[in-house]
Amino acid sequence: MGKTAAETVTMLREAFKGEALSQARVYEWFSRFERGDMSLEDQPRSGRPSTSRTDENVKKIRDTIMFDRRRTIDELQALTGVSWSSCQRILTELHMKRIAAKFVPRLLSEDQGANRLDVICEMKDQLKTDADFLSKIITGDESWCYGYDPETKQQSSQWKSASSPRPKKARQVKSNVKSILICFFDIKGFVHFEFVPQGQTANQQFYLELLKRLRDAVRRKRPELWRSGEWLLHHDSAPAHTALSVRQFLTKNGMTTASKPPPPHPPTLEPCDFFLLPRMKRDLKGKCFQNLEEVRKK
């Protein structure tokens, strides 16, 4: 003997608890079965059918996105004439989602990337033929040092108990007092470093005088490299470093560079940006220097 709709509702609630069909939906299915309708498909309904998610509109949305991936849904709606909700559903069906761009130090052209790769491969080949190749390189780079550099969020954090109040910290900005620190080092440590005087531009004339002081530092601190003359200067492709007068000075004094010419913005060849300068600035953060000479002592 068949069950009634009320009995079926009771049985479903006992078996599926809160996940059971509602009473109205159970009665609706019973009515359909009594009419002889055993189909499980949705019934046709009156009204205008949706025509927005057609192949033509999908192609239109895809082409618009491919032309400019920064288009918002509002812009897609204005450009294609497709409703906002349909644009959103089409993007979902295309498995597309909006994400923020990842920050990278530099965006290089294909030629610059190929040049960087060639230089790196050349240096790897030199390392294979000369096991002491890296010990002969003196790397130089520069960075700004501020009179006061605010602490990072991690540096200003402190332990607290459940009952103690949360510590407060006033918002601070970097000091207007700053100076460029230029340093040269090799695998043994610093060879030479100095601050650019206030008001002085680090142009090619200043860099020429700096290279003279670097040569004197190599002669005093790395006498074995000075006597052999096999040490290599590695610096980036800044305009002051690649100027004609600088290249003539290097040639005249037998100062060979590690790569010719230096590739543009090579992160794999700029160790200063990865371990030296960030660690140095981490120790200086949160400290106020009335005179940048105090930074030199640090």
**pLDDT at position 280 over 80:** no
Rg of the chain on CA atoms, in Å: 35
Using CB atoms within 10 Å of the CB of residue 210, give its burial: 0 to 12 exposed, 13 to 18 middle, 19+ buried. Answer: buried
Asked if residue 183 and residue 79 are part of one domain, the reply reads no
* Amino acid letter, 93: E
Query: What pTM was estimated for this model as a whole?
Result: 0.55
Residue 240 covered by a domain: yes
Asked if residue 222 and residue 99 are part of one domain, the reply reads no
For residue 137, list its beta bridge partners.
232
Asked if residue 230 and residue 95 are part of one domain, the reply reads no
Domain interval for residue 226: 118-153+173-297
Asked if residue 183 and residue 223 are part of one domain, the reply reads yes
Give the CA angle between residues 138, 253, 140 to the nearest 5°: 20
Could you give the CA distance from residue 245 to residue 248 in angstroms, rounded to a whole number? 5
Asked if residue 68 and residue 30 are part of one domain, the reply reads no
Asked if residue 56 and residue 149 are part of one domain, the reply reads no
Asked if residue 198 and residue 70 are part of one domain, the reply reads no
> What are φ and ψ of residue 276, in 5° steps?
-85, -65
Q: What tens digit of pLDDT does each residue of 157-204 get?
A: 788 788 888 887 777 666 677 778 888 989 898 899 888 887 888 899
Asked if residue 203 and residue 72 are part of one domain, the reply reads no
Which H helix or E strand runs over 146? strand 137-146
Asked if residue 197 and residue 83 are part of one domain, the reply reads no
Asked if residue 147 and residue 181 are part of one domain, the reply reads yes
* Amino acid letter, 162: A
Asked if residue 72 and residue 23 are part of one domain, the reply reads no
Residue 139 covered by a domain: yes
Instruction: Fill in the DSSP letter of residue 198.
Output: T
Please state the domain count of the chain: 3
Asked if residue 245 and residue 184 are part of one domain, the reply reads yes
Residue 73 covered by a domain: yes
CATH number at residue 95: 1.10.10
Q: What tens digit of pLDDT does each residue of 62-106 get?
A: 999 999 988 999 999 999 888 898 898 899 888 888 888 877 666
Could you give the CA distance from residue 126 to residue 131 in angstroms, rounded to a whole number? 8
